[in-house]
Structures are given as C-alpha cells and as structure tokens.
Amino acid sequence: MELPLAELEIDAYLISVPTPTVLGRVDLSCVRDAASAVGRALWHHPAWPVVAVRSTVPPGTTEEVVIPILEDVSGRVGGRDFGVCVNPEFLRARSADADFMAPRVIVIGALDARSEIALRRLYSWWTDVPVIATSLRTAEATKYVANLFNATKISFFNEMHEVLTRLGADPDLAARAVSLGAEGMWNPAYGTQGRAPFAGACLPKDTLGFLGVLEEEGLASLAPIIRAVVEVNDRVARTARPLELDLKLPPAPSTSDVVVVPDKHEASVRT
C-alpha cells in the first residue's frame, strides 16, 4: 500500500481497513500495512497531521501496534511530530456513507490534548452531535461494546422467539410491545452503569421465576442467555458497590415512623 507524498494541506490520515477474525483471533495485518503506509507519508509531511484509527481493533492496538509502526517507519515521534487518535466508526453496512455524514455520536480517544483538538477541528461541522473524549484504549473498547451489545440483543430476541413459540405465545407481538414499553429499549442510559446489579421488586424474581417456568416445561435448555443473566448478576452482586439509586430515599425512620415506599421502582435501580 502506497500513499501519495504528504503535502501541507493534508490534516489527517484515517485508518479504516478490515480487521477480520481468523481462527478466533483478530487479524491486524491490514492495520499494520496501513500504519506502514501512513508512516511513509509522515516521513515526508512538512507539518503536524493527526492519524486516526477508525478500524475495529482490540484495546491497546493503537499504543502497542500502530504507534510503534508509525514511529519506526516515519522516524518521527507520536505527540511531538504528529497526533494520534482512535475514532471508532458506528456505521451500518447498508448505509455507511449516510451514517458517516450524520453521526449519532463522535468518540475521540486521543494520545494527548493536541491530538484531540486536531480531530475535533475536523468534526467542527457537526455542531449538534455529542462528542465523547477519552483515552485510546477506551475508544477502541467502545466499538466492541457497541457490537457486542447489538449481537447480544439480537440473540436475546432470537432466544425469546423460540421459547415463546414453544409456550404458545406470539413472539413478534411480544417483541413489538417490549420495544415500546421496556425502559431498556427507550432509555439509552438504562442499565449502562457498571458494577451495579439489577434489583428491585420485579427483575430478580421474574428472571428466576421465568427460568422456573421453563424448567417445568422442559424448555430450560432453550434459554442460556437468561440463565447467564442470572449468573452474571449474582456474581456482580457479591462484589459490587452499593447501588446509587435515582430514587431519593427518605432518612432512616425512628421506631415510631412509618415510611411508605412505592412498589414500582426497579426501573430506577439501574440507569
């Protein structure tokens, strides 16, 4: 891969190449090739451009793979002579161009403040799009978390489709109702606080109760995701910090006080 010799007006190099999974491992060969090509361009660059990794790469790749290649090939030093960022793509295959032009969020993981400022300048056209600035590793992880969540959601509803069909319920209508009614579907922040197990009046009893129903019907083997949900929640509950509830609880009552607590607050337990 060869890039034209850099000129002064080139502000940024965006590395957006395939990172296929081969035999269960992420293949970074295209990323390495792209970093080498950018490094050769940097060797000739008369100014201070920024290199942004947009490919899906494991946390640590930019620090441990990309930057060393850039520095070795260019003879320059990241931060001092060029900027480095991770700027993950959140694009759908069927509408990648449109999604790029209308981003829902811009994530910038930066080597340093100057790198962040340089990439922010490139996105200055999108004044109404939230920008999340973070470290290189966190930005890399963000794309994996997004894809893993999407995959898990799809698998969950596939699991429910089979289970509900076997129970004589309509899985499509159920999914439609859930998409409108479940807080986890319409509240983007719901359930995203780490180290905070679900609790409340409904979630613990309903996950265990539904598993019990499936066991009685001989269908428990069809619900590995639900069982994993319970196991993960139990594990986190053993080590988690106390929950930071949205609900403002009253002071501890004296022996003569009576406190009435509404019975539907599990939706506020994890937000």
Q: Which two tokens stand for residue 125?
A: 């056209």
pLDDT at 3: 57
- Examine residue 258 and state whether it is found in any structural domain, yes or no: no
Task: List Cα–Cα distances, 193 to 55, 155, 168, in angstroms.
Answer: 26, 22, 35
Q: Which two tokens stand for residue 12?
A: 């940024």
Question: Do 92 and 200 reside in the same domain of the chain?
Answer: no
- Examine residue 260 and state whether it is found in any structural domain, yes or no: no
Half-sphere exposure of 186 (CA within 13 A, CB side): 9
Question: Do 91 and 130 reside in the same domain of the chain?
Answer: yes
Angle at 151 between CA 84 and CA 64, to 5 degrees: 25
pLDDT at 25: 96
Integer Cα distance of 187 and 170 in angstroms:
25
Provide the whole-model pTM. Answer: 0.81
Residue 49 belongs to a domain with what CATH number?
Answer: 3.40.50.720
Beta bridge partners of 134: 109
Task: List Cα–Cα distances, 255 to 252, 258, 259, in angstroms.
Answer: 10, 8, 11
Per-residue pLDDT of the chain (271 residues; tens, 9 = 90+): 555 545 556 889 999 999 999 999 999 999 999 999 999 999 988 899 999 999 999 999 999 999 999 999 999 999 999 999 999 999 888 898 898 888 999 999 999 999 999 999 999 999 999 999 999 999 999 999 999 999 999 999 999 999 999 999 999 999 999 999 999 999 989 988 888 898 888 999 999 999 999 999 999 999 999 999 999 999 999 887 654 444 333 343 333 333 333 333 333 333 2
Question: Do 116 and 210 reside in the same domain of the chain?
Answer: no
pLDDT at 241: 61
- Examine residue 194 and state whether it is found in any structural domain, yes or no: yes
pLDDT at 68: 98
Question: Do 63 and 152 reside in the same domain of the chain?
Answer: no
- Examine residue 5 and state whether it is found in any structural domain, yes or no: no
Alpha helices in the chain (DSSP H): 29-44, 61, 67-74, 96-101, 113-122, 136-167, 171-181, 183-186, 203-216, 224-239, 266-269
Integer Cα distance of 267 and 271 in angstroms:
8
- Examine residue 259 and state whether it is found in any structural domain, yes or no: no
pLDDT at 216: 96
> Is residue 119 within 8 Å of 125, Cβ to Cβ?
no
Given 107, 136, 165, the domain boundary residue is 136
Question: Do 124 and 189 reside in the same domain of the chain?
Answer: no
pLDDT at 144: 96
Question: Do 155 and 221 reside in the same domain of the chain?
Answer: yes
pLDDT at 266: 36
pLDDT at 207: 95
Collapsing DSSP states into helix, strand and coil, what is residue 88? coil
Domains in the chain: how many in total? 2
pLDDT at 113: 97
- Examine residue 251 and state whether it is found in any structural domain, yes or no: no
Question: Do 130 and 150 reside in the same domain of the chain?
Answer: no
- Examine residue 51 and state whether it is found in any structural domain, yes or no: yes
Given 111, 136, 161, the domain boundary residue is 136
Catalytic residue, chosen from 10, 131, 202, 203, is 202
Task: Give the residue numbers spanning the domain of 33.
Answer: 12-136
Angle at 138 between CA 10 and CA 142, to 5 degrees: 90
Verify whether residue 30 is a known catalytic residue: no
Average pLDDT of the chain to the nearest whole number? 87
